[in-house]
Chain A
Amino acid sequence: MPTQSAQLDSPRPTTDAQLAARAVSAAKVYGEGDAAVHALRGVTVDFPTSRFTAIMGPSGSGKSTLMQCIAGLDRLTSGQAYIGDTDISGLSKQELTLLRRDRLGFIFQQYNLLPSLTAKENILLPLTLAGKHPDEAWLHEVVKTVGLTGRIDNLPSQLSGGQQQRVAVARALLPRPELIFADEPTGALDTSTGQEILSFMRRAVDERGQTIVMVTHDPHAASYADEVLFLEDGQIVDRMDSPTAERVLDRMKRFEG
């Protein structure tokens, strides 16, 4: 197992593709002494631009921790995380916040919309916080893409779960971030709505060259990605190009077995 892991953790032979993000010997430990939990045990991984990468693994494998540490939501215990060429391990809280605002997008399982803002205001939130004005044509297109035309003046409470998640996707897409992180984006949705959301994400990668990193435990969701990384016990144990739901499911079954 260790040998296999070492081999798989080595940087993927990327040719001229640029990297949107990467982690080098990323380790994360919660707690101390006997109670210490090693969530990440020295993960080295690249996320090339214009790719849709899925991170999978059983519960407690560290997949969410990996994403959170690369996204600057949490700090690594040791190792480095980069967004583009920026080493985020050395950034202050404020610098991290500004980096997230200006360069990253987020989609969460629980939609996470502000209840008092309309759909449109929620979509514009990152731009508003940055003091920027939206490109109206682009806004129109994003709204159209996610199928929210005519509903953008509604409050979240007046929207269905699927519609709320579309708002969240639009919010992530609108600022054209270097990288979008999605954490179980379809976890709270029914199958067909989930598929729609995943299609938007897929199209954003194909048509706009958007880079997306998605954490999921759903093999079907993972099948929309270009590549799937499998984590177990804080380490990357496998990867799969051009995944299909069946192959991912088979791989996942091996964890349980």
Chain B
Amino acid sequence: MLQIVLSSVRHNRGRYISTLLAIITGVAFFSATGIVSDRVTGALEGDAAREYRGVDLAIVPADEAGSLGDTGRTLYLDGSTIRKLAGLPGVSATAGVLTGPASFLDAKGKRFASKATGRLWVDDDELNPLTIDAGRAPTAPTEIAVDRGLAESQHLKLGQQVTVATAAGPQQSTIVGTTSFGSSDAIDEAGTISIPRSRAFTALSDGREQYEAMYLRGSAAQSALVQEAKTAVPSGFKAQTGAAFVADQAESAGELGRYIKRALQAFAILALLVGAFVIYNTFNVIIAQRMRELAVLSAIGATPKQLGRMLRAEGLVVGLVGSITGVLIAIAVTTIAIAGLNAAGVDVPGSGLALNTTNTLGAILLGTSITLLSMLAPARRAGRIEPIEAVRSAAVEPSHVSRRRALIALVLGAVGVLGFLAGSSVEIVGAAAVLLFIAPIVGSPNLVMASTRLFRPLLSRFGLEGRLAVDNVARSPRRTATTANALYVGVFLVTLVTVAGTNLRDFTVEQINKIGSADYVLTSTGATLQPQLLDRYRAIDGVRQVVGFRRSAVTIDGKASALSSGDMKAVGEVANLKTRAGSITGLKDGEIALNPRADHPRVGSTVKVVAQDGTTEELRVGAVLDPESLDTAQIGSVVTPATLERLAGPGGDTVAFLALDDGAGTATNTKIDDLAADRPDVVATEGNSLGRLIGDIFDFMIKAVNGLLMMSVVVALIGIINTLSLSILERRRELGLLRIVGMVDPLVQRMIRLEAVLIAFIGTLTGVGVGLLTGWGAIFAITRLTDANVAFSIPIGLVGVVVVTGAVLGVLASILPARRSTKASVLDALAS
């Protein structure tokens, strides 16, 4: 039995090529994604675990900061806290973490490595996550160390003199060492500039001794250390055992990798599912072409069960071969790619191949089971063959298209549309989308017949070859339909993502822009905005108003937050600041205009505010801000200058809002950005940048998803090539005849090209049409089910691109089959 199966697969090798290609493409992508992301994730997690292994106790912020809108909330541990902790029994060494913006200035004063992070050098070797690769640790105020990647990309050498720009201004320094973080170059995304303790506070925190977090090393048990430390940990921070801290670090280091892996593998699975159409088609054709052979087997006594089993075994063999090849290709490709990247100077974390059994077996299992599933129906059909078929002439696929199919498809589609129009929940709308998606697949043979009727007049104008192309496409509507379906799936998703995505983007951006805000926000990280600096901004042509205020990180009722104070009347003029209750201008000393939060404190209630150094004060809620303003996020809560001074000590402005003249042009923007270049701690953000940022995120997502969907489109392309090749094989007699009676080769090839374009068009147009309908339905349902009023518009340009791409894909898919169509001798027409 196995012998028959294997020899049959060998014999039909040519026919199985497309099936193999479809499986290999999907499996290789799936497997390569797994290999690369596991390697990177594993390396990053390993780095975190290794580099922080000396930590026995960690004092870290109690809740995750840094999400959108949480500006100005970074809390610090001050010097006294760290000394208190260092004095605890059993603690042998401490290390504080302090970072701030830092970059280099070239000879002309131009900034480079502008997104780098300045980092306080940890003197305790065991607690320092960084390792010295070359040179030594920085100690003198004019010494720094840079990470390996930065040194390489910016061509920095040991002993080189550089100008380091920090919040304290430019400073001539000498590079005395290069560092690395585990197998990665740097701990910070855009590079690390390590600054010794003798300079760090000046450079990174305006001269104050403060830390973002603290690592401690000790002889006592970790849990005992945590118990002891608890009393000394200020509000907004928590004490963690070294083990828990390392686990957290590893988790967050690997988080992105794991997330990307899941997302990419989802697309690989989609590509495999699209491949299922190709596999299904191929098996159908192979079985149709072998009807006679199967009928002979049936005649000599093979039961339907045996025939089915034999064919399934063939599917198993093909699936296994394809999947294993896919995994091998993935290994080869990733090895070469990583070697290539390393040679090109791009550091890929980790080493070796992350070849775990989950990756390998998972990919093989996935590819094989999809192959098997795709061929169940063809195998069953083949099992039911009548022995009489053996003596009949060529087995022809039934070209009869049932009307019932069309009817079912129409009903499905109608129910889907109804679901959008009247569905009362998200689930129903989702089901409606699925129905609408399935309907064209069910009715695809009818759709093919309708499309060929529609395109016949148009293609006939191309001449005889156009006319014949339509006829050939319509000849076996089911096969054409399955081929087009593979493309339909990809195009449908691309269209849906594009249409729904762009409409939601436009809506969201519009809503955000409606909120309105200051034109520019200047923020200093770790330093102050001196009045002279603000005057320089005032002097810029086109700047109407500059209002500075002081913002300080505190905890309010234990939650990290920010307090602002200053000329709030002026702030209100520039920013779109509103209150829900009370007024800001009427705020008295000891009162707070609270940024609203989940438990809705009322005016008159009190909140407990703890400053950085532990100074605590109960404040009476004098007003509640309206969060429907972007600037509220910048401000946090508002107190009077006196209140803030009591809590956080004396200090200058740290944030400023800028208002521009209505007609201010890009020259103004450039000047604002240029001024910020002198002070790396100052960030100038455009007030409407949130809208733009969110728009960018939407655009990126749409592009990324569509890019990945291309995988499935490529597999669909294989399907078109496959179908055309098989149809050419079947039609070699006709093709030969056409060439004998005078159709020149270019015309024959044009005919094949037109067939490919037509099949591609059927898939593409159905995908675009149904995608648009579903996109509209989704937007309509959102508008209906929520109070958001999302306008629907068709991104005509994008839809045009999709349609043209479909045609181009068709032409691409036809290259090989067209060449093959005229390669054979015309004498094929005479072969019987």
Contact = CB atoms under 8 A, between A and B. Distances in A.
Interface of A: 64, 68, 73-74, 93-94, 97-98, 100-102, 106, 108-110, 112-117, 125-126, 128-130, 171, 183
Contacts of A108: 737, 829-830
B797 interface: no
Contacts of B741: 100-101, 106, 125-126, 129, 171
B188 to A, nearest CB: 66
Given A112-B733, A116-B472, A102 B740 contact: no
Contact of B733 (A64, A110, A126): A110
A183 B737 CA distance: 13
10 contacts: A94-B744, A101-B741, A101-B743, A106-B741, A110-B830, A125-B738, A125-B741, A126-B741, A129-B464, A130-B742
A73 B468 CA distance: 23
Given A73-B827, A110-B832, A115-B734, A98 B472 contact: no
A115 B468 CA distance: 10
A47 B90 CA distance: 115
A176 to B, nearest CB: 14
A73 B742 contact: no
Contacts of A128: 464
Contacts of A126: 741-742
A105 B78 CA distance: 101
B743 A129 contact: yes
Contact of A68 (B471, B734, B744, B827): B827
Interface in B736-763: 736-745, 747
Nearest to B826: A73
Contacts of A130: 742
Contact of A97 (B734, B742, B825): B742
Contacts of B736: 112
Residue with the greatest number of chain B CB neighbours at <10 A, chosen from A100, A112, A126, A130: A112
Nearest to B464: A128
Given A114-B737, A115-B734, A101 B829 contact: no
A198 B475 CA distance: 33
Interface size grouping (class) on chain B: 20 to 34
Q: From DSSP, what is the main secondary structure of chain B's interface residues?
A: helix
A74 B737 contact: no
A116 B466 CA distance: 12
A241 to B, nearest CB: 29
Contacts of A171: 741
A113 B734 CA distance: 7
Interface of B: 464, 468, 471-472, 475, 733-734, 736-745, 747, 825-827, 829-830, 832
The 3 closest A-B CB pairs, nearest first, are A101-B742, A116-B471, A112-B737
A179 B373 CA distance: 56
Contact of B745 (A93, A109, A112): A93
Contacts of A113: 737
B468 A114 contact: yes
A116 B742 contact: no
Nearest to B743: A129
Given A64-B830, A101-B741, 17 more contacts: A73-B827, A74-B825, A97-B743, A97-B744, A98-B742, A106-B740, A109-B832, A110-B832, A112-B736, A113-B737, A114-B468, A114-B734, A114-B738, A125-B464, A129-B464, A129-B741, A183-B830
A60 to B, nearest CB: 15
Contacts of A97: 739, 742-745
A164 to B, nearest CB: 13
Nearest to A106: B740
A128 B747 CA distance: 13
A155 to B, nearest CB: 10
Residue with the greatest number of chain B CB neighbours at <10 A, chosen from A74, A94, A110, A183: A110
Contact of A100 (B742, B747, B827, B832): B742
B111 to A, nearest CB: 65
Contacts of A102: 742
A101 B825 CA distance: 17
A241 B494 CA distance: 74
Contacts of A74: 825, 827
Nearest to A129: B742
A112 B829 contact: yes
B754 to A, nearest CB: 14
A154 B734 CA distance: 18
B529 to A, nearest CB: 79
A110 to B, nearest CB: 6
Contacts of B832: 109-110
A228 B745 CA distance: 35
B477 to A, nearest CB: 13
Contacts of A129: 464, 738, 741-743, 747
A109 B733 CA distance: 12
A93 B734 CA distance: 18
Contacts of B825: 73-74
A94 B827 contact: no
B166 to A, nearest CB: 75
A112 B733 CA distance: 7
A102 B826 CA distance: 17
B745 A94 contact: yes
Contacts of B734: 112, 114-115
A109 B739 CA distance: 17
Contacts of B738: 114, 125, 129
B448 to A, nearest CB: 15
A94 B747 CA distance: 11
Contacts of B739: 97
Contacts of A106: 740-741
Contacts of B827: 68, 73-74
Nearest to A127: B742
A73 B830 CA distance: 10
Contacts of A116: 468, 471-472, 475
Contacts of A114: 468, 734, 737-738
Contacts of A93: 745
Given A108-B830, A128-B464, A73 B740 contact: yes
Nearest to A74: B827
Nearest to B825: A74
A135 to B, nearest CB: 18
Residue with the greatest number of chain A CB neighbours at <10 A, chosen from B475, B733, B741, B826: B741
B826 to A, nearest CB: 5
A125 B737 CA distance: 10
Nearest to B742: A101
Contacts of B740: 73, 100, 106
B478 to A, nearest CB: 17
Contacts of B826: 73
A105 B740 CA distance: 9
Nearest to A68: B827
Nearest to B735: A114
Contacts of A112: 733-734, 736-737, 829
A73 B734 CA distance: 15
Nearest to A114: B734
A43 to B, nearest CB: 18
Residue with the greatest number of chain A CB neighbours at <10 A, chosen from B738, B747, B830: B830
A214 to B, nearest CB: 14
B708 to A, nearest CB: 40
A116 B734 CA distance: 11
Contacts of A117: 468, 471
B460 to A, nearest CB: 12
A80 B471 CA distance: 40
Contacts of B475: 115-116
A93 B745 CA distance: 8
A98 B742 CA distance: 6
Nearest to B739: A97
A110 B832 CA distance: 8
A245 B825 CA distance: 34
A124 to B, nearest CB: 10
Nearest to B831: A110
Nearest to B471: A116
A217 to B, nearest CB: 14
A25 B104 CA distance: 87
